[in-house]
Structures are given as structure tokens and as C-alpha cells.
């Protein structure tokens, strides 16, 4: 069955079709268009998707949404971005799927992927999710528009860096279950304090379907604030975490030799024991949020436990590999290069502390932290020392305060950018080392990871 037909697209967007066609996917980046896709020609401040129509059809597009004339098969609309949102609303309206929305300062993409794996274990091929980190004003409607009508469950990630953004996204998604993974300093240049970040994350509850379930972090200092945000919109509020009193909590944990954790969790009156493949206390907390959501939609908890045992690390978010070194031997690379804020930095440094070998950290600056950026960076020093880091490459101008705080305590190289970081790492690494690579996405440490991998 086609994802969309021309007539369905025209009806959803109040557009005019050039003729019959059917599509199996949706894209608005011409570089991502594949055979059978619908290409949405968005018009922005710096580019115009209509310039790439020929390229999209050369790559196999079956149709397009346009706001200007084209000889290619199309649906013409007044505003292509509004049409993307309309298509998303139509996709959401035509499915009976249980929809789960996920947000948080840290861990939302990892939780989304884990939740997908847990649900797909029992609904094979009938679970939809956001791809990559498509969680903003364009990514969320794109993810919705890609949802097949026969979907049984959907997991959609939502992000924000300004107040009001999540309110708009969640009303588009209309989740049956809404999760806030955690609240931590992120995008702080746009918020007065962490409480304001909690308020902005709490907007996700505004879009809950009637009787919907809000899932909140029990151990967060902002728990009561999030509960207050959820109360006007949720039929039920479920807390998760490690502390006594959480509705879904880890009652026992035991670290395993391979780096994972054996967990016993209590979900209401039930108990589940499972092996969590991902290392770190933050992953135990994430797993409790995932189990709370699995239970909220009535899915199989035992199958969820099996999925959590099998889930590997994601590229940029915990994936591990052995890197061959120029002089011989290998070093273990922990790839956390996708993004960073103070909380996630501390969590992943704690993971490094439990990893065998000499500890090396390649840390990129944390961005969008506003006037307190220097304090946040310098404040990482205790976590770096607690992780028993013996050598560090610090990347970016904002890392200067941390470099100063660590001076004389370990071997430190402070460099301007990712290429310099890769060169320094190649000089520094020795066989048997364990190296953590983490920084804000804009620093480009994925290039360091690729270089160490030999790509």
C-alpha cells in the first residue's frame, strides 16, 4: 500500500494535483530523496527547494509538493511549509496508533530509540519513529508525514531551544503518552534559569490526548514543577527513577563485567529483572522511563526487557569500537560525539571511569550556555578528575576555563577545532587506552570519530 496518493496529498493540503501518482516516502532535503519519495520543496530564508526539483526527480522522486510551477508530477499549494504541517496532521488523524512523545534536556534520542526497539519486539514492522534527531519545527511534521496508516505505535521526539516551541509541536503530535526524560542546563542562553527550561519541557503535556499519560522524572529537582504542568492535561501521571516512591523504579542494580547493568525494576505491583546493555546510571534511569511508556501503552514488558538487553550504542550516542593506532595496537573509542551539555558530560565521564584502560577524554565545547558558559565548563573539572582521565584534548575556545582548571593535573592539549583534535589524539593515544569523544554537535567531533575509525 502506498504511503500517500496524489489525491490524498491534495485533500490533506488543499492543493491541486497535476495527475495521479503515489509515493512511499517523504523528504524535504533533495540529498535524501530516494526512489518513490515525495519531495517537498520548502522555501526558506537562504534556499529554495524548487531549485532542486530536477535533482530530486533524477534520484527517483515520484511526486512533489510545490508552490510554483513545475513540469514534474506534483501537488501545488500556496505554502509548502504549511502543506508539510497539513500532511502531518492528516497522517496523525488517519491512524489508530498509540503515539508517544519524548522530550528532555538529555537522553531523548536514546530513549526514543530504546522505546522503538522495545515496542517493535512485539509489533514487528508496525512501529514508527522519528529518524535521526528530527525533533524541530520541520523534523516533527516530516516524521509524522512518514507514518503509515497501519502503524500500531509511534515514538516521536520533540526538542526546543525557546519557550513555546514544544507547545506547538505537541499539539501537532497529539501524544497518548508524553515523557520528559530529564531537565538539565541546555540552551541556557535562551532561558533565565533551569526552572524556565523545565517549564518549556513541560509544554509537551499540553498536547496530550484526553486521558493521556504524563511520565516525569521522579529524581529531578523539577519533578513537582513538571507534575504541575501535567495535571491540567493528563489523565494519569507516572513517575520514574531510582528513588523510593517512584512509580517505576530500579530497586536493584548490579554492574556487569562487559559494562552493562543487571536491573530489577518495579512497575506498579509487578517486578521485572533484565540486563541493560548500555553502561551508566543515566541509562538505568532512561530504561525506567522506557518501561513506564511500554506499560502505559499496554505493550509486553518482558519483551521490552529482552530488547533493552540487546540494544547497542548509537553512533554519536554511546557506540563503541576498537580503533587501530598508527604505531600498532588498538584503543577503545566511546563515541558520544553528537551533542553535549553539563549533565550529559558528567554522565558519560562516569561511564569512562568504569572502563578498563588508561583514560583519555576528547571533549568539545558545550554551546548555547549563555553568560554562565565559563562556569559550566570549568565546573566539569571534578567529573574529569573523578573519571581518572590521564590525558585530555579540549576542543574550542569555550573550553579555556576547563583547561585552566585542569592545568598541572594531567596531560592537556587545548586545540581550536576538530581536525586539530584528531591530530592531537593520534599523537596521544596508546594501545589499551579508553577514549571518550564528546562535545556539542557544532564542534564536529564526529570527524574525530570517523578519523579514528579510519573512515
The secondary element (H helix, E strand) that includes residue 264 is strand 261-267
Give the C-alpha separation, 188 to 140, whole Å. 23
Q: Residues within the annotated binding site for ATP?
A: 104-110
Q: Structure pTM?
A: 0.82
Strand-strand pairing, 22-23 and 4-5: antiparallel
Q: Is the distance from CB of 11 to CB of 18 less than 8 angstroms?
A: no
pLDDT mean across residues, the chain: 93
pLDDT of residue 343: 85
How large a percentage of the chain has pLDDT more than 70?
Answer: 98
Q: Residues within the annotated binding site?
A: 104-110
Q: Is the distance from CB of 346 to CB of 445 less than 8 angstroms?
A: no
| pLDDT tens, residue by residue, 183-193 | 876 655 666 78
Instruction: Give which of 158, 90, 98, 157 is closest to 127, Cα–Cα.
Output: 98
- CATH numbers and ranges of domains, the chain: 4-87 (3.40.1390.10), 95-310 (3.40.1190.10), 319-453 (3.90.190.20)
| pLDDT tens, residue by residue, 356-387 | 999 999 999 999 888 889 999 999 999 999 99
Amino acid at each position: 500500500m502506498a504511503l500517500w496518493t496524489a489525491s490524498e496529498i491534495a485533500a490533506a493540503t488543499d492543493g491541486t494535483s497535476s495527475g495521479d501518482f503515489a509515493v512511499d516516502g517523504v523528504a524535504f532535503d533533495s540529498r535524501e530523496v530516494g526512489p518513490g519519495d515525495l519531495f517537498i520543496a520548502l522555501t526558506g530564508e537562504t534556499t529554495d527547494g524548487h531549485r532542486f526539483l530536477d535533482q530530486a526527480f533524477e534520484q527517483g522522486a515520484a511526486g512533489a509538493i510545490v508552490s510554483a510551477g513545475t513540469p514534474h508530477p506534483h501537488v501545488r499549494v500556496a505554502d509548502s511549509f504549511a502543506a508539510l504541517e497539513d500532511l502531518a496532521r492528516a497522517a496523525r488523524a488517519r491512524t489508530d496508533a498509540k503515539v508517544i512523545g519524548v522530550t528532555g534536556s538529555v537522553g531523548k534520542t536514546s530513549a526514543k530509540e530504546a522505546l522503538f526497539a522495545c515496542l517493535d519486539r512485539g509489533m514487528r514492522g508496525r512501529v514508527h519513529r522519528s529518524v535521526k534527531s528530527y525533533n524541530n519545527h520541520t523534523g516533527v511534521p516530516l516524521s509524522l508525514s512518514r507514518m503509515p496508516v497501519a502503524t500500531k505505535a509511534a515514538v516521536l521526539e520533540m526538542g526546543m531551544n525557546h519557550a513555546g516551541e514544544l507547545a506547538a509541536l505537541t499539539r501537532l503530535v497529539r501524544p497518548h503518552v508524553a515523557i520528559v526524560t530529564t531537565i538539565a542546563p541546555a540552551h541556557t542562553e535562551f532561558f533565565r534559569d533551569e526552572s524556565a527550561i523545565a517549564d518549556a519541557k513541560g509544554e509537551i503535556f499540553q498536547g496530550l490526548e484526553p486521558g493521556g499519560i504524563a511520565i516525569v522524572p521522579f529524581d529531578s529537582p523539577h519533578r513537582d514543577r513538571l507534575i504541575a504542568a501535567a495535571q491540567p492535561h493528563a489523565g494519569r501521571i507516572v513517575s520514574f527513577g531510582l528513588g523510593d516512591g517512584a512509580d517505576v523504579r530500579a530497586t536493584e542494580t548490579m554492574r556487569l563485567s562487559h559494562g552493562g547493568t543487571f536491573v530489577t525494576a518495579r512497575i506498579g505491583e509487578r517486578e521485572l529483572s533484565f540486563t541493560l546493555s548500555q553502561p551508566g546510571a543515566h541509562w538505568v534511569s532512561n530504561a525506567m522511563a522506557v518501561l513506564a511508556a511500554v506499560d502505559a501503552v499496554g505493550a509486553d514488558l518482558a519483551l521490552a526487557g529482552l530488547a533493552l538487553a540487546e540494544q547497542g550504542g548509537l553512533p554519536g550516542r554511546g557506540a563503541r569500537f576498537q580503533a587501530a593506532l598508527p604505531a600498532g595496537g588498538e584503543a577503545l573509542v566511546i563515541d558520544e560525539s553528537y551533542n553535549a551539555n553539563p549533565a550529559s558530560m558528567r554522565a558519560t565521564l562516569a561511564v569512562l571511569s568504569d572502563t578498563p584502560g588508561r583514560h583519555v577524554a576528547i571533549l568539545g565545547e558545550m554551546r548555547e550556555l549563555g553568560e554562565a558558559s565559563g562556569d559550566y565548563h570549568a565546573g566539569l573539572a571534578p567529573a574529569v578528575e573523578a573519571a581518572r582521565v590521564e590525558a585530555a584534548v579540549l576542543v574550542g575556545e569555550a573550553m579555556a576555563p576547563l583547561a585552566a582548571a585542569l592545568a598541572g593535573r594531567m596531560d592537556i592539549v587545548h586545540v581550536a577545532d576538530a581536525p586539530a583534535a584528531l591530530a592531537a589524539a593520534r599523537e596521544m593515544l596508546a594501545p589499551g587506552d579508553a577514549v571518550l569523544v564528546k562535545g556539542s554537535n557544532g564542534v564536529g567531533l564526529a570527524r574525530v570519530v570517523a578519523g579514528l575509525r579510519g573512515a
